[in-house]
A and B are shown apart, each in its own frame.
Chain A
């Protein structure tokens, strides 16, 4: 078995023994697939935090270059397939208060509910509706879910330099238990700090969305992209998400992330 070559990771932590043990315990998979899975497991492990909060500026840029801004506040509790997240729009004023509750599950697709203050009602976002654009942005509802490593199969597609960063190029395919609009994704993982550099999502061989990560910073020991660009390759529009006021491991209450409470906060 080939061990992962971590080239001078910026985080003072080469591949931990735990990840190595995980690789050893994998069923008989081709070495490249094992390596790809181990890399993805390491990505998830390094990003792990008990909770997360940020305020995001969304800039939706249509095909004609017209920009419209939205802002949201994001809270997440838990990680690795069992996290819960709430996303609340804070601007513009006429969408302020619109909220999305996401309950991620390790063995199936997430549950999502949208709260609309004008109606005083929540609405469950059905599984077949997850490919829809989220609130006029280029993110679909599915793109807001957590990508848990256990819900995909991986294969190593080689190595590439993306935006000056050496990356592993890994293909992921959703497992049967994971309902996804995408038939596959190509994921570029930076070798220096095990964070995503780019994710390209495919439907039956056609690239439909590309998520580009940039402006990496270490926040509370976790390497994080502060700028995400989601490109809708069919519509030729893109949405930039600038992450501000980012905090990890802050105390958040479990009860907040329930259907009864998420819209009241």
Chain B
């Protein structure tokens, strides 16, 4: 077995008093920011407060809680002290009913914990623009790829998967240089500190599958969660994008780590009663890939493909690809496609890999704009062998200039062995209320 490498997660202590001072500053700062943005064109801000409530149709074997409440306050500020320099930051304040947010009020810059930070610096970056060169330094979002739903080349985009079907991107801390000409651009990214995707909590309904079924272990067995072993070392990547007359494509390369974990079964400590242990590890990988968008007469053809290689025998080597057709017609927007996977070297025991979980499936998305304030969206996937399916419907309604109400339903079906099927008891209904300012 490959020895575990990396940094063991550390617990987080609660420093409530210090945190409250930050919250007071955050909330009090809102009115100050509004005043500044009026007096100076170089400062802009926006933000929102969102309340979400989710209700699940069923309880699961490891989770009897059937409702979740979440609160998120996000404040974004951009400051442009000179024409060539922009400073941008974003702060999140979170609370919820399911321990998804940490109880520690200390602002968290790195966002690498098992839980979401109570107070998170979700973005803090300086952008320097000189001629055709743009340099982004700090915590930032880097998005690659052109496809929807699955993006094999999007390697600097870890996500928060606490709710596997309702995810959010996490920013990475690093440097990005873009040489941008009108038709071609070169994108170079270096990220010195690894940011993993946030996996579902182990005692909750979205928890990743374990390498063994705890229910089938003999009485008296002990299961040890050895935690996460975060990868150490830099990640880097390059992407060349070409915009042609009526088409565009890119080629990209990446060397770094899987941002979703492989669930590694550790050596059995005692034979009987068994003591079994598992850990989440993030093997080193490399990726070469590309994407293209070709608008045709009736629709736009988009494709994205990548090969994932690794010297680490804990992860597979495989191709992941997406082909999709996109069309906007009147008030409708349609995307239909297929995500495929070809494993060239099967090695891993088990992984939490939602991206691969969407492979070998037909994907679709449809949106309908009812009017300027209301929209409907449908999104879903059906496994090619029919073993699993997921359908999401959303209705969104803006009320006035600041309020948006949304209703969302997820319907999940499938068998035990399927990525969707594993979550078949997680069909849910979500209502959200957002006040933007």
Instruction: Spell out A's residues near B (CB within 8 Å).
Output: 60, 62, 68-70, 91-94, 96-97, 103, 108, 111, 119-121, 124, 126-129, 131-133, 135-137, 253, 255, 258-261, 264-265
Contact = CB atoms under 8 A, between A and B. Distances in A.
B401 A93 contact: yes
B371 interface: yes
B266 to A, nearest CB: 37
B185 A128 contact: no
Contact of B134 (A103, A121, A129, A260): A260
A108 to B, nearest CB: 7
A interface secondary structure, majority: loop
A72 to B, nearest CB: 14
A133 B401 contact: no
Interface in B69-92: 83, 86
Contacts, number: 99
Nearest to A84: B182
Nearest to A262: B180
Interface stretch (B100-108, B124-132, B280-288, B358-366): B124-132
Contacts of B182: 103, 258
Contact of B398 (A92, A126, A137, A265): A92
A12 B73 CA distance: 57
Given A94-B404, A97-B46, A136 B297 contact: no
Interface string B171-215: 000000010111001010000000000000000000000000000
A142 to B, nearest CB: 12
Contacts of B434: 94
B246 A94 contact: no
Interface stretch (B17-25, B309-317, B327-335, B385-393): B327-335
Given A97-B46, A128-B297, A120 B143 contact: yes
Given A68-B398, A93-B47, 4 more contacts: A62-B372, A93-B402, A258-B181, A259-B241
B245 to A, nearest CB: 7
B274 to A, nearest CB: 46
Nearest to B373: A68
Given A111-B243, A259-B180, A264-B134, A127 B185 contact: no
Given A93-B401, A111-B243, A264 B129 contact: yes
10 contacts: A68-B372, A69-B401, A94-B404, A120-B169, A126-B299, A128-B298, A255-B132, A259-B241, A261-B129, A264-B127
A85 to B, nearest CB: 14
A92 B401 contact: yes
Interface of B is mostly: strand
Interface residues of B, number: 48
A135 to B, nearest CB: 8
B379 interface: no
Contacts of B143: 119-121
Interface in B291-312: 293, 295-300
Contacts of B127: 264
Nearest to A71: B401
A119 B147 CA distance: 12
B436 A259 contact: no
Contacts of B328: 126, 128-129, 132
Contact of A255 (B180, B298, B402, B436): B180
Contact of A126 (B48, B243, B326): B326
Contact of A96 (B46, B246, B398): B46
Contacts of A264: 86, 127, 129, 134
Contact of B46 (A93, A131, A265): A93
Interface in B43-76: 46-48
